[in-house]
Structure formats: C-alpha cells, structure tokens
Structure 1
Amino acid sequence: MITATKTQTDQRRAALTAGLSLIIMTLASFFSYGYVHASLVVQGDASTTFQNIQSSHSLFQAEIFGWVVILICDIVVAWAFYTVMKPAHQKLSLLAAWFRLIYSAILGTAILNLLFMSLLTRTASSQISEQLPTQGMLYLNAFESIWSIGLITFGIHLAVVGYVALRFTHSPKIISILLIIAGVGYMFIHSCNVFLPQYEGMIAVLIYIFTVPMIVGELGFGLWLLFKGGKPSSAAV
C-alpha cells in the first residue's frame, strides 16, 4: 500500500514537472525564436543580419539564454514523461525518453553555433569586413540545419508518446491523436528541410497543415499533465 502510494506521488510530481516545463519551453520558444530570431535574422541578407545582431547584442544573448532554458526543460521533460508513462508501457516510454534525449543533444550542438555567432559579432571591429557577415550567416544556417535534424528525432519522440497515451492511458484521445499527428508533421517537415530544401512550396504547405497539431498537441498534453496527470483517474489501464 505504501509502495503504491509512493509510486502515485512520484507520478503526480513528474506530471506537474512535465507540465510546467512544457509551458516554460513554449514561452521561451516564442521569445527566442518567434520574437528575437525572427526580428534579427534577415534571410538572404548576411550584412543586415550581422549589423542587427551586433547592434542588439544583449537581445541576441537573451535569445541564447532562452535556448539554454529550452534545452534544460527538454531533458527534464524526457525524465518526467518516462516517469509518468512507465506504468503504462515501460519499453515504449523508455524509447520515447531516449529519442528526446538524443534530440536534446542535437539541439545543444545547434546552440553552439549561436554562441559562435555571438562571439563573432562581439569581437568584430566597427568596420566590418565582407567575410564576417558571410561567416556569421554560416553559423546561423548551421543552427537551423542541425536543429532541423534534431526535430526529426523529436517527431519520433512525440509519435511514440502519443501512441502510448492513446493505447495505454486515460489521457484525452484527441490530445493523443494530435501528438501522433504532430510527430508525423515534425518528421515530414524537417526531413524535407534537410533532404529536399529546394521544395520550399511543399514545405510551406506541410507547415500550414501541421502547425495546429504541433502547437496544440504537446501544449495540450502538457496542460493535461499539469492538472490531471498522475492522479488516480489518469492511471494506466
């Protein structure tokens, strides 16, 4: 009885941790990528991008800090998801956790390129040579490409989480299905980004189709974990 109660308590604590981490990640992502990155980086214009980052260096460093927060939260979520879902299906839960940890390692590698860009703009003199903006854009493109590779792995993680949630738990079926769709979306979109970048129109259509499931699926699952996950009514069947 004591062991069962402790297990239930651990699951509830892990569910709360996962839910809060997902919300923090969402906010950090909107700030770092949706606001700062989109504001400073001008695709196809290395010189303007370099000048933007150099003149708003503190803001760019805040973006990097946001990515580090996201990375830490990803690692925490990998553990929390495993703890919550382990009673439902231990092997698949462990598989999902490993895929998220692999994604986290790839994301960490991508973030290094932003650090290189930060160092480049901070140490550059007031008179910028032609080579520096080009080198800086290479770092930014490397960040995007490496992150895209990681998001393929992230998509597999979400699909596995969605499958376990759908088949073995009392989580809302619609959220579980959206997680699976979101996982497929991440795999398709970022496989195209990495291997078929010339098909920009097709990638844009895929983003349009999968944007809502990708946002609502994981965030909805995070909210369910925050308010219901780990409680007796959400135990595995």
Structure 2
Amino acid sequence: MTNRNNETPPLHYSRAAGVGLLLMAILAMFSNFSVLEGLIVFDDPAATATNIMTNEMLFRTGFISFVIVLILDVLLAWALYVLLLPVNKNLAMLAAWFRLVYTAIFGVALHNFLGVLQLLSGTEYLAAFTPEQIHAQVLSLIDAFNNGWLIGLVFFGFHLLIVGYLIIRSGGYMPRLIGIFLVIASAGYVIDSFAHFLLTNYSDYKTIFLLIVAIPGVIGELSLAFWLLVKGVKVQQRR
C-alpha cells in the first residue's frame, strides 16, 4: 500500500513546471534569435554556410540548447500531467501524450543540425562536392528541420488546447484567464503551421502569423510559468 505521506507535495510539481517553462523560454529564445535568425539566410546558401562556419561554437551551443529544451519538454509533460490529473485524468494523459509526440518529432527534426555540421566540417564532403552543392545541401537540411518542427507544432498546439481547456474547467483550481490564453495560443500554432503548408505566398503574411502565435503564446505560457512559481496549486483540495 502506498503511503500518501511519502508522496511528493503538489507544490513541488508546480515549482518544477514553472522553472521548466522559464528555462525553456530562455533557451528557445537564445537558439531562435542567436542561431536561427542570426546565422541562417534562407535565400542565400553561401552566406548561411559562411555564418555557421564562422560561428560554429554558437551554432553548436544553439543545438545543445535545443536538446536541453527537449529534456525539459519531457519533464514538463510529466509535471503538468500530475498537476492536471485531479481535473480530468484521461484528458491530462492525452495532453501529456501530445507534448511527448511533439518532443519526439522535434528531436528527429533537430537531427538535421548534426548533418549540417558534418557537411561543413567533413573533408570527405569537400572532396566529393563543390562548395555550391554543399551550401545547397546545408540549406536543404535546415529547411527539413523547419518543416519537421512545423509538423511537431501542430501536436504542441493540441497539447496547449487540452491544457488550456483543463485549466478553464478546473473551477478556480488554476486561473481561467491563463487557460483562455493557452487555448488562443493553441489555435495560433495550428493555424500558422497549416498556413506554411497551404499558402504559397506565406512570406507575404509572415508577420501577421508571427503575431498570432507569439502574443497569446508568450502571455499564456509565461503567465502560467510565473503563476506556478509564485502561487502554485493545491491539488490535495480536489482529491
């Protein structure tokens, strides 16, 4: 028989989830803006390859940051499952699975970064291909990473939808406003991913879609992180 006195207090899960969300936000921002936005020029393969080779350690650090984010994603899926379990066990489990599937897809997509490093540093590739061919392959691998990430974000969007719904239905267990922002953010992620795949002129509306994703996403996820850290949850009151 399990001794309930030995169970981890719900507040510990809350703190772990809050810290995890904040760390993920910091690491993801670093990798996105310093590496993806700072080094990659999507219409210039040669400039992209030169930027990566010149700032190889920064590129590798960005890769490691993404790997840490993957680990935190798994831990966060577990912590949120425990915290939302009292609201609805089945939906809490489904939300966790959606996040784990997203994490797996993102991990596979991230593998393309290793291919980029191998192409640019491997002497066998330099002997077999012209610089132009290598540069084109590098950009192709980066495109493959982005496409895989976009597919994963569809699953992440559904994860946020369920988490937001559970928060809204928690009856004050967690703030309803945070749940509303998460539901809106979930729609933003799904719409943006589908727009990438459906619109041939997506770049014309890129800023609009970025705002649709970023504003509710940042507000919802960061407000949840700070609330979990400052206020926490009292799961035992619903048992």
Pair in the same fold by TM > 0.5:
yes
Q: Quote the offset at 1:198 in angstroms.
A: 2.8
Structure 1 unmatched runs, 5+: none
Q: How far is the alpha carbon of 1:15 from its aligned partner?
A: 1.3
Query: Is contact 1:88-1:168 (8 Å) kept?
Result: yes
2:203 corresponds to 1:200? yes
Runs of 4+ in 1 over 4 A off after TM superposition: 2-7, 124-128, 234-237
Residue in 1 that maps onto 2:12: 13
Which SS does the other structure have where 2:115 is aligned?
helix
Q: Could you tell me which amino acid in structure 2 is paired with residue 156 of structure 1?
A: F
Identity among equivalent positions (%) equals: 34
Residue 5 (structure 1) shift: 5.5
Give the structure 1 partner of residue 155 of structure 2: 153
User: Of residues 219, 229, 234 in structure 2, which corresponds to 1:231?
Assistant: 234
Task: Give the aligned partner of residue 73 of structure 1.
Answer: 72
In the TM superposition, what is the alpha-carbon distance from 1:197 to its structure 2 partner? 4.3
8 Å Cα contact 1:12-1:84 kept in structure 2: no
| 1:25 shift after superposition | 0.4
Q: How many residues align?
A: 234
| Partner of residue 216, structure 1 | 219
1:67 Cα offset (Å): 0.4
CA distance in 1, matches of 2:197, 2:70: 21
Cα shift at 1:120: 1.4
Question: Equivalents in 2 of 1:162, 1:230: separation in Å?
Answer: 15
Greater CA drift, 213-222 or 90-99 = 213-222
Within 5 A, what are the aligned runs for 1:49-68?
49-68=48-67
Letter of the structure 2 residue corresponding to residue 67 of structure 1 = F
Between 1:208-217 and 1:43-52, the stretch displaced more is 208-217
**Over aligned residue pairs, what C-alpha RMSD do you find?**
2.2
Instruction: Structure 2: state its 5+ residue gaps.
Output: none
Letter in 1 for 2:145: F
Please give the alpha-carbon distance, in whole angstroms, between the structure 2 residues aligned to 1:236 and 1:229.
14
Report if aligned partners of 1:84, 1:229 keep a CA contact under 8 Å in 2: no
Q: Distance in 1 between matches of 2:29 and 2:67?
A: 14
117-126 or 40-49, which deviates more:
117-126
CA change 1:25–1:197 in 2 (3 A) is farther
Q: Which residue of 2 aligns with 1:37?
A: 36
Deviating more after overlay: 166-175 vs 216-225: 166-175
2:110 and 2:163 map into 1 onto residues whose CA distance is 25
The residue type paired with residue 136 of structure 2 is T
* Deviation at residue 200 of structure 1 after TM alignment: 2.8
